[in-house]
């Protein structure tokens, strides 16, 4: 019986991120609690996107683009919390099936065959998104009270994109996922930000002309002020 504190997150100019509370109750068959405590894993995931990763290399004292790799289904945001470290809850195969951990994400590479090269680019992607606060892992952050009620807080970075997100809860018993439930979360823009995003998408040509006009106008104004000073 999972739920989340916010089903809709509004992005405005002052948006600095959000802290989502995922909570619920564990329902055992027949109401009988097992002798060995169950574990809970919660995953907050954003829309997938295709992304091209480029590797920089220094040639003759200059940094230039070298090798590249494209991933077809990289999540724009991924956060996971668990009642214990994930390796103590499930084995490698189960973690890979349910994508429990950033190192278990199925990124669908489309341009690489060499496993060592694939690992290098995947590690680079994970590192970039980790530093941007877009990939988060919090082992031990799920609190379970009396073996029934659970709760966990996961941060939603200020850099998240708009779209449909999912909050998925997994109940794990003896290393097996015995139940899973999903709640949908919508992240959208509001006010002036929504107007600008809509204008850029629906009236791209006019939006481009206005942007150029504003840039030229601001440049001319700055030049006029500089000449007077």
Same domain, 134 and 215: no
How far is 155 from 44, CA to CA, in rounded Å?
A: 9
Tokens 């909050």, residue located: 167
How far is 54 from 68, CA to CA, in rounded Å?
A: 4
Condensed to tens digits (0 to 9), the pLDDT of residues 145-167 reads 888 899 999 988 888 888 899 99
Condensed to tens digits (0 to 9), the pLDDT of residues 52-62 reads 887 777 666 67
What pLDDT does residue 136 have?
94
Same domain, 149 and 175: yes
Same domain, 115 and 8: yes
* Domain boundaries, position 228: 191-229
Q: Is the pLDDT of residue 180 over 80?
A: yes
The answer to whether 193 touches 217, Cβ cutoff 8 Å, is: no
Helix axes 204-228, 192-202, angle to 10 degrees: 120
What pLDDT does residue 197 have?
52
% residues pLDDT > 90 (the chain) = 32
Same domain, 51 and 96: yes
Same domain, 159 and 227: no
Closest CA to 162 of 80, 96, 77: 77
What pLDDT does residue 14 have?
64
Same domain, 112 and 205: no
Same domain, 143 and 216: no
pTM: 0.76
């Amino acid at each position: 019986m999972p739920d989340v504190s916010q089903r809709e997150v509004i992005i405005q100019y002052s948006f600095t991120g959000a802290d989502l509370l995922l909570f619920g109750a564990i329902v055992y068959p027949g109401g009988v609690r097992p002798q060995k405590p169950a574990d809970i894993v919660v995953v907050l995931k954003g829309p997938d996107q295709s992304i091209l990763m480029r590797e920089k290399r220094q040639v003759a004292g200059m940094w230039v683009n070298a090798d590249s790799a494209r991933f077809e289904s990289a999540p724009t945001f991924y956060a996971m919390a668990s009642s214990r470290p994930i390796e103590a809850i499930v084995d490698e195969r189960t973690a890979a099936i349910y994508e429990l951990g950033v190192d278990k994400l199925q990124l669908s590479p489309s341009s690489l065959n060499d496993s060592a090269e694939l690992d290098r680019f995947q590690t680079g992607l994970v590192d970039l998104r980790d530093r941007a606060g877009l990939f988060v892992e919090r082992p031990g952050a799920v609190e379970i009270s009396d073996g029934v009620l659970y709760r966990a807080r996961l941060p939603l970075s200020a850099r998240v994109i708009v779209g449909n997100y999912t909050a998925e809860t997994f109940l794990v018993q003896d290393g097996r996922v015995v139940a899973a439930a999903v709640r949908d979360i919508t992240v959208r823009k509001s006010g002036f930000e929504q107007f600008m995003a809509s204008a850029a998408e629906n009236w791209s040509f006019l939006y481009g002309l206005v942007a150029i006009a504003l840039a030229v106008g601001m440049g001319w104004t700055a030049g006029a002020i500089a000449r007077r000073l």
